[in-house]
Structure 1
Amino acid sequence: MANLSAAPELIGAPYDLAANALLIAAVARTEVTETLATAGFRVRDVADPATASALLDGPVLDLVLLDARDASEPELEVLLDLLAARDASAAPALVAIFSAGQVDLAAPLLGMPHTQLLCDPGITELLGALLRARAESEGAPRARWTDITRDAEVARLRRLNEEVARIADALARLTRGELFDDEEDGRDGVLRAPEMDYRGPDEPVSEIAAAEIRAVIRSRRLRSQYFAAELFADPAWDMLLDLFAANIERRRVSVSSLCIAAAVPPTTALRWIGTMHEAGLFGRHADPGDRRRAYIVLSEKAVQGMRAYVGAIRRAGLGLV
């Protein structure tokens, strides 16, 4: 595809903009190029996935925008492996667009720093991702953008981890009467602040059946029949439950299947999968029979945390929700 650096007016962005972008697309869609210009990016080059690798190490770039929707899988397979192998912390920001049917192809990019994965985004959603990438390229604090960005999600996930660990610890100690012992010892506060890492159970946890976890998932989905689903959106916990059940069943879970389990739009699900991967709760296993696919699994830390939590719930006589 032709190099458009010498004629940026064809893209619609002023030539003197400081933010430079490489657009990788089999078909350069008008809405994508116009949104790039709106976000303040000048497209230095446009390349198709088969020839883009030669441009990744070219002139200084602030953004690589991959629009995979019109590309063939063999071309994308090579390019995605190349993008996943680069040093993302030193490379330009990456925004990758996939169609709903290509979600599993996004697996190599999950959890990479300065990377945003979108699934059939609208113009507003794409613009938000590009503005965030522009802010990163200029050194602006990432948390200044909207509360749906990964920074906000990381903070929310950290609070979720702390709350789950705190409840599990408190319930376990309550069943042993230790909370009252703490008060008698004159310690500050009723609840002891937990460590950030999960704590294992203090006593053996009885067998946990996958059917028990699946029943919880079904009951959570039933709420959407009576209330707006977005009122109860909790993709982190929904995915933890689904992967925990799959772990018990010794079943593999694809990226697309986990996106469905999250019960949120695919782009939001991909963002959360990346966040959970960064937090050390999810891992990624390649499919030995098809290198284009990867499966998402719980890390050992997450498995231990879920087992400890279920054990604490049972000892307290409560139900998992």
Structure 2
Amino acid sequence: MQADFSYEPVCNSAGCQIGVTVLADRAHIRGELRDDAEAAGFRVLHSMSLADYANGAITALGDVLLVDCAEDTAEALALLSRLDMRAGKAGTQMVVSTTMGALDAIFGCFSSSAPQILVDPCRSERAIAIGRVLAHVPNLRLRELGEEDRLMLLRLTEQVGRIAEKLEKVTQGQRAQGGAFRFESPAPNWHAEDDSYVMTKDRKAVPKLPRAETIRLVIKARKARAHYFEGELFADPAWDMLLDLSAARVEGDRVSVSSLCIASGVPATTALRWIGQMVTAGLLVRVADAEDRRRVFIAMSQDTVDAMARYFAEVGVSVDGFVLA
């Protein structure tokens, strides 16, 4: 039975009910999105397939845009890119749901609007995303909320709070020290005995990342814990992604969004929230594919690379392998 989220009509500062556009090729999902938007207090301006919207007259997007795109066809990607630019300029809030198979192409379409991207979501996950949109609306009054709904929203709030708290600590370190972790600088007359450290004119001494095989051993050891304990006890998607990106950096490989989501060890939608937060914090960067501008890879920023190299050196993982047992 679908939870009954019932809200007073949501209005903007002018007193007009906030409008939403629903675009989805799958008719049953389009109907669910429309019903959930109306239940949340929005006024549905348009509800149609992506193709119908693309072929129709140009219309206003409204304040909120809900999109479901399961296939990364050229026509769909072109429309999403246009919607991204329009939504970014207009300040329209977007919620986009897609499939794991289409994620990489869909992710690459968005650079201006900062949408919530959901991967193979259930209806309740889409309702939560709509709820996050409502969080930006002032003076919202909730008429009725069941105990199960309260617990669900509480878990969501706790999760977002933990993300914000961890990232705030990281960004504070970056602002104060120029990196994600704090380490003392070497003395002016310091020099390396080999090439484990590098010196440049504008950069302080920075250790190199260990070999990819060594980093993969660290990742393998982390995953082995799930053989003996409940995996969720050790969920740390940000760190798992940084480890995977570190190994890829040494190997000279590019990492797709979908691959990074898998490496995170958490559901793809959760991983995407982490990726978005880490890009905002400057830990990760989007890298466009020179051969296909629609495709986007994720990489560590140079400060993050340096911080990871310092971390490995601090815990006894050298360029040549483990130093400490």
TM-score (norm 2): 0.72
Aligned twin of 1:128: 128
Q: Secondary structure at the match of 1:100?
A: coil
Residues 240-255 of structure 1 mapped to structure 2, 5 A cutoff: 240-255=242-257
Task: Note the C-alpha offset of 1:216.
Answer: 0.8
Quickly say closer, same or farther: Cα 1:148–1:279, change in 2 above 3 A: same
Quickly say closer, same or farther: Cα 1:167–1:86, change in 2 above 3 A: closer
Aligned twin of 1:95: 95
Whether contact under 8 Å (1:24, 1:47) holds in the other structure is yes
Aligned twin of 1:105: 105
Task: Note the C-alpha offset of 1:132.
Answer: 1.2
Equivalent of residue 169 in structure 2, options 148, 151, 159: 159
Aligned twin of 1:38: 39
Q: Secondary structure at the match of 1:241?
A: helix
Whether contact under 8 Å (2:181, 2:307) holds in the other structure is no
Q: Deviations over 1:137-171 (max 9, x none)?
A: 4487xxx972334x65233222245579799536x
Q: Secondary structure at the match of 1:208?
A: coil
Whether contact under 8 Å (1:62, 1:134) holds in the other structure is no
Q: Secondary structure at the match of 2:118?
A: strand
Aligned twin of 1:27: 26
Quickly say closer, same or farther: Cα 1:201–1:127, change in 2 above 3 A: same
Q: Output the amino acid matched with 1:28.
A: A
Aligned length: 279
CA distance in 1, matches of 2:298, 2:42: 34
Whether contact under 8 Å (1:95, 1:115) holds in the other structure is yes
Quickly say closer, same or farther: Cα 1:152–1:136, change in 2 above 3 A: farther
Task: Note the C-alpha offset of 1:215.
Answer: 0.8
Residues 94-243 of structure 1 mapped to structure 2, 5 A cutoff: 94-108=94-108, 115-138=115-138, 146-149=157-160, 152-160=162-170, 169=182, 172=184, 203-205=205-207, 208-243=210-245
Q: Deviations over 1:34-59 (max 9, x none)?
A: 22223222211023223435889744
Task: Note the C-alpha offset of 1:134.
Answer: 2.1
Quickly say closer, same or farther: Cα 1:146–1:55, change in 2 above 3 A: farther
Whether contact under 8 Å (1:106, 1:117) holds in the other structure is no
User: What is the percentage of aligned positions where both structures have the same residue?
Assistant: 34
Quickly say closer, same or farther: Cα 1:137–1:82, change in 2 above 3 A: farther
Aligned twin of 2:3: none
Pairwise CA RMSD of aligned residues? 3.7
Gaps of 5+ in 2: 1-6, 12-16, 141-153, 188-201
> 1:303 and 2:305 equivalent?
yes
Task: Note the C-alpha offset of 1:85.
Answer: 2.9
Task: Note the C-alpha offset of 1:87.
Answer: 5.8
> 1:262 and 2:264 equivalent?
yes
Q: Deviations over 1:228-264 (max 9, x none)?
A: 1111111111111111111111101111110100000
TM-score (norm 1): 0.73
Quickly say closer, same or farther: Cα 1:216–1:72, change in 2 above 3 A: closer
| Range 53-62 or range 112-121, more displaced | 53-62
Q: Secondary structure at the match of 1:264?
A: coil
Q: Secondary structure at the match of 2:102?
A: helix
Q: Output the amino acid matched with 2:163.
A: E
Task: Note the C-alpha offset of 1:286.
Answer: 2.1
Quickly say closer, same or farther: Cα 1:154–1:75, change in 2 above 3 A: farther
Quickly say closer, same or farther: Cα 1:28–1:215, change in 2 above 3 A: same
CA distance in 2, matches of 1:249, 1:302: 17
Whether contact under 8 Å (2:95, 2:118) holds in the other structure is yes
Q: Output the amino acid matched with 1:169.
A: R
